Amino acid sequence: MPTTTDRPTRSNLALRLGLARKARTSRHRDVQGNSTRAAVLGAGDGLITNVSLVLGVAGASAAGPAVRLAGLAGLLAGAFSMAAGELVSVRAQDELVRREIAVESEELRSDPEEEQRELAAMYRARGVPEEDAATVARILSSDHAVALDTHARLELGIDPDAVGSAGAAGVSSFFAFAIGALLPLLPWFFISGTAAVVASIVVGAVAAAALGSAIGALTGRGMLRTAARQLTAAAVAAGVTYAVGTLIGTHTTS
Ligand SMILES: [Zn+2]
């Protein structure tokens, strides 16, 4: 919330009305910031998935080629799954937004007076004095595109400019997961046995802590806390899978 004096200057009023929101939100939730966060979260998923998978298979005392195969299969399966999920959800959300905006547009055409009253009421509910609210609602309602944009933001809570590209989201999800999944698998292309297990654990721990702090930095929460959380999640997942791998491995080979 902007902190301004209560003097009803023009900019103050604009801030209170949320007119300045467009400029501010497009800077805040720029595509960069959003996709960076999605990428970091996706890489975190890939990391936890494959540090578990690699250590689980290694725990079953499998040879290097088996661990590499399992790790690569896990990387591809997870990356495709993430991409498909992202594709479907972004497309579904897009359709929902488009439909809601179409409904609102139709309402604006069929009953502009009622929509203008509705807009004035929304500004009054936000603490704008009655007369100012009526004035702003009248000005904004004089242009269909502006009115539609305002109704979408205030009434529906939708940012009409933030229509995502499903394809781009799918591709970046794929690579984010793949990169995270590749990290704990990398040592197995160079070494094997206990050395590779230790290397996977070290790489996995360092990457989990780094991704965790990045999440903390991007979300504005404590970096130490998010790093610890990510590290714990990875350790629990990998520990359990390793234990299961050890158990099953012993049973099938004996
Ligand atoms: Zn409306």
Measure 13 CA to ligand 1 centroid, in angstroms: 21
Measure 55 CA to ligand 1 centroid, in angstroms: 55
8 A C-beta contact, residue 154 and residue 119: yes
Measure 60 CA to ligand 1 centroid, in angstroms: 61
Per-residue pLDDT band for 6 (boundaries 50, 70, 90) equals very low
Q: In this predicted structure, which of 11-20, 168-177, 202-211 has the lowest mean pLDDT?
A: 11-20
**Dihedral angle over CA of 55, 61, 63, 64, nearest 10:** 20
- DSSP annotation string for 146-167: HHHHHHHHHTS---TT----HH
8 A C-beta contact, residue 173 and residue 86: yes
Higher pLDDT, 145 or 24: 145
Domain count, the chain: 1
Within-domain flag for 187 = yes
pLDDT in tens, 215-224: 888 888 788 9
Percent of the chain with pLDDT over 70: 83
- Whether 16 shows a pLDDT value over 60: the answer reads no
Measure 40 CA to ligand 1 centroid, in angstroms: 37
Within-domain flag for 38 = no
Per-residue pLDDT band for 91 (boundaries 50, 70, 90) equals confident
Measure 29 CA to ligand 1 centroid, in angstroms: 24
* Token pair in block for residue 241: 């899978």
Measure 101 CA to ligand 1 centroid, in angstroms: 10
Measure 14 CA to ligand 1 centroid, in angstroms: 20
Domain that holds residue 199: 43-248
Measure 160 CA to ligand 1 centroid, in angstroms: 14
Q: Which residue has the tokens 């890489």?
A: 43
Measure 24 CA to ligand 1 centroid, in angstroms: 22
Measure 96 CA to ligand 1 centroid, in angstroms: 16
Measure 217 CA to ligand 1 centroid, in angstroms: 37
Within-domain flag for 11 = no
44-to-64, 84, 140, 178 alpha-carbon distances in Å: 24, 18, 44, 10
Measure 114 CA to ligand 1 centroid, in angstroms: 8
Within-domain flag for 27 = no
Within-domain flag for 34 = no
Within-domain flag for 131 = yes
Measure 151 CA to ligand 1 centroid, in angstroms: 5
Say how far apart CA 64 and CA 15 lie, in whole Å: 61
What pLDDT is recorded for position 94? Answer: 85
- Whether 254 shows a pLDDT value over 80: the answer reads no
Measure 115 CA to ligand 1 centroid, in angstroms: 5
